[in-house]
Amino acid sequence: MQFASILNISFNFDYLPLFIVAALAWSIPMLKSLAGLTKIPNPVLELILGYLIARPLINSFSVESIRILEFLALTGFIFLMFLTGLEIDVNKILDSMSLKRMSLSRFRRNPFLVGILLFFITISISLLFTFTIAQLIVIKSIWYFSLIMVTSSVGIILPVLKSREEINTEFGQMIISAAAIADIISIILFTLSAFIIKNGFKAEVLLIIVLFVLFYIFYRIGLRLKDIRFFKKVTYQLAHADLQIRIRGTIFLILIFIISSQFIDKEAILLGAFLAGLLLSVFLYKTRSLLLIKLDGMGYGFFIPIFFIMVGAQFNASDLKDLDTSLIPFLGLLIVALYLVKIIPSFIWYKFGIKKVFAGGILLASRLSLIIAASKIGLDLEIITPGINACFILMAVITCLFSPTLYNLINPRSVFDVGKTVVIGGSSTGVLLLRRLKMHARAAVIIEKKKKRYNEILSKGLDAYHGNGLDPSVYEEVKLSPSNYVVVLTDSDKDNIKISRLLREEFGHEKIISRSGTSKIELELLRLGVDIIDAPRVIATTVENLILRPTTYQALIETFESFSVEEITITNKRIDRLQVKEIPFHTDGFLMLIRRGKEMYVPHGDTNLRLDDTVIIFGTNRAIQDFRERLT
């Protein structure tokens, strides 16, 4: 007790309320997994169980305990906005902003510019729907109500596209850009609107610009610091164990923006937290960043679940009675409006086909944290009634539950598309190969004849087809095309040869890869024109690299998930005879070699590229995707 008095610590705080909330946060993912509800977003269940379990208990909590939970919930909300900003790929947006030689066709292919146009179409349609809804109920601010309806949820949309391996496709980039821009512009407009509604249109509204000036200042400082070797060395040395300097620096950065926002207006906290995440996003290699894993752990592991559980606990269903007889018509019209304000503008993507456009609009209609936050701010400003606020929370739950499911139903993903890799045999090598291809957003499917092993592959979240590689009908089922690589990795060398012969002789397939165990098998596979994996040679080369160039080899292995090498054949006529320095390639990749006929060249800025050249690229997955789009 003497120790406590020295530190002036009181042991009288009641931890039971926090225990109840923490127990709910822990049990939700466990129950979800056991019940097979893996496709329902965690926040939705947190809202529901917060209402069903935490709400009945909250009345027994002391005022002090509730205040502590509200503080932790607010911190969770700040973390959520911060991580939302962190999810947005700022570098991709900056790369899209070049207006050189802009034409209609270039405009339509630019996700950033199309996303901005989409937002303004969406807000226009939202205003029309709000005027219609205002005939049913009293809406104090048409503009603010319209803004609430244009929100999206990057946190829901991103995992859906990632799971379908669509994140690097042109269509996937269009959806992500539209959702990100909706978030960015909505947050800016919410902050400005809340300030003006609360304080009137005064010169002080310009203080919000201070946050953007602060963003730019820290951006410039970050650019300088990341190139200073001493700073990089010190941060690396202090990044682990009990020091965690990067986590401390991140919290420091968030608080700088939060405190600056509070000086302007408390509603600006939303924008401040978002800008802090956006700033860090510029300097973070997200595919390999340990810092991002730690921040996700802090946010989604502790603070953010408290926010959603407390939103559920404070949800008052009796508020819906405020709408009286207009409740059902209002809810019906609101859900229709929330979907149509996203679906109608999506027809700007008509080149992808009606089904994709419709599905994309439905996915964009997913709403969660931002709609809840915006509605809560409106409630505090007394321009949103408790009944309307309760309706928006219901809409967040409904859209999160149904939008991803409808997207998958309307736009079913096929693992049998043209650009896939077919792996025959679900051995550990085949499974590892599939996982690595999935990291690079490459479609791949395993053909496995053993039912038990097939089910195990499916349980790991990989794509598989139950069938025998010796059965010709299997290849018709998986829609094998000449562009597909087929990797034959069954447990039997004899079966590998038989399958390779079947593919070569009956289907005339050329892109076949298999492994050789003996010189006899190697000779047979070579006669069939199969590319061979010589396992002993691969092992010997690996050991050689570990002995002769251990640092370089380990660096390449450790960064495999972020960086890779790819061969691309130039088919874009507009690239023909342009110099390398004339093409604005992605900065996270570079040309290593050019193969022209039988000759190999090391490229320089003055090197001319030609049609049918094969270029070897080294870079991040996003950079390689950018190279592919420009060269093919």
The DSSP code sequence of 349-392 is GGGG-HHHHHHHHHHHT---HHHHHHHHHHHHTTSS-HHHHHHH
Q: Supply the CATH number for residue 615's domain.
A: 3.30.70.1450
- 236 or 492, greater pLDDT: 492
Structure confidence at residue 553 as a pLDDT band (50, 70, 90): low
Please tell me what DSSP assigns to residue 299: I
Structure confidence at residue 621 as a pLDDT band (50, 70, 90): low
- 243 or 190, greater pLDDT: 190
Whole-model pTM? 0.64
Residue ending a domain, choose from 386, 410, 434: 410
pLDDT tens for each residue of 338-354:
999 999 999 888 888 88
Distance CA 566, CA 624 (A): 7
Q: Supply the CATH number for residue 455's domain.
A: 3.40.50.720
> Is the confidence at residue 618, as pLDDT, over 90?
no
- Same domain? For 400 and 426 the reply is no
- Same domain? For 29 and 172 the reply is yes
* Residue 301 maps to a domain: yes
> Is the confidence at residue 213, as pLDDT, over 80?
yes
pLDDT tens for each residue of 2-33:
545 555 666 677 788 888 888 988 888 888 77
Distance CA 388, CA 310 (A): 18
- Give the three-class secondary structure for 534: strand
Tell me which of 54-58, 403-407, 602-606 is least confident: 602-606
Spatial CB neighbours of 401, under 8 Å, sequence gap ≥ 6: 40, 44
Range of the domain at 428: 421-534
* Residue 557 maps to a domain: no
Mean pLDDT computed over every residue of the chain: 79
Tell me which of 301-315, 440-454, 541-555 is least confident: 541-555
- Same domain? For 192 and 301 the reply is yes
Distance CA 312, CA 606 (A): 62
- Give the three-class secondary structure for 274: helix
Strand 444-448's sheet: what is its strand order? 464-466, 444-448, 421-424, 485-488, 512-516, 531-534
- Same domain? For 366 and 488 the reply is no
* Residue 551 maps to a domain: no
Task: Take residue 15 and report the two structure tokens written for it.
Answer: 């931890």
What is the predicted pLDDT for the residue at 287?
A: 46
HSE value, Cβ hemisphere, 13 Å, CA-based, for 572: 13
Give the other-Cβ count within 10 Å of 99's Cβ: 10
Give the other-Cβ count within 10 Å of 287's Cβ: 14
Contact 630, 575 (CB under 8 A): yes
What is the predicted pLDDT for the residue at 100?
A: 54
Distance CA 383, CA 375 (A): 9
- φ, ψ for residue 347 (rounded to 5)? -70, -5
Contact 447, 417 (CB under 8 A): no
What is the predicted pLDDT for the residue at 339?
A: 93
Residue ending a domain, choose from 384, 410, 436: 410
- Same domain? For 498 and 582 the reply is no
> Is the confidence at residue 288, as pLDDT, over 50?
no
Contact 44, 304 (CB under 8 A): no
- φ, ψ for residue 549 (rounded to 5)? -140, 60
* Residue 242 maps to a domain: yes
